[in-house]
Amino acid sequence: MPGPKSKPLVLSETERRTLAGWESRRSTAQGLAMRARIVLACAEGESNTTVATRLNVNRGTVARWRSRFLRDRLDGLADEPRPGVPRTITDAHMPLMSSPRSRVDFGELIFRCLRSPLRPARVAAT
């Protein structure tokens, strides 16, 4: 017995172009590219099961992204904030982290640690 009929997904021309760009651009995160492929396949009128089989993903994954797109359109495909402690390194810090000046000189670091008075004391065995 077939499952419930999925809501039809109709894209505007702007949405279709945006999704096609996300799908084909090499710099797009792979998760977002897969979501774009899912939505484009659903817009062709395919069922969740057919899309899942063709894209080699779980049927529940297709159902989740179809419903989020229907609810929030393109904004629904973005990653939601993860649970847990907020990030301490923001995107603004990232260029600083990858600059050549931020690289650690491990020789200098080891030298400073060895001459530091905070070295653990040696304890004689009794």
What distance in Å separates the CA atoms of residue 55 and residue 90, rounded to the nearest whole number? 33
Is residue 98 pLDDT above 70, yes or no?
no
Own/partner contacts of 66-75, CB < 8 Å, gap of 24 or more, are: 66/6, 66/7, 66/9, 66/38, 66/39, 66/42, 69/9, 69/39, 69/42, 70/7, 70/9, 73/15, 74/15, 74/18, 74/19
Q: What is the pLDDT of residue 124?
A: 60
On average, the pLDDT of the chain sits at 81
Highest mean pLDDT among 6-10, 96-100, 104-108: 6-10
Q: How far apart are CA 49 and CA 7, in angstroms?
A: 14
Q: What secondary structure letter does DSSP report for 91?
A: T
pTM of the predicted model, to two decimals? 0.63
Q: Is 57 exposed, middle or buried (0-12, 13-18, 19+ CB in 10 A)?
A: middle
pLDDT tens per residue, range 36-53: 999 999 999 999 999 999
Average pLDDT of span 93-118: 63
As a whole number, mean pLDDT of residues 103-126 equals 64
Sequence-distant (6+) residues with CB within 8 A of 119 are 113
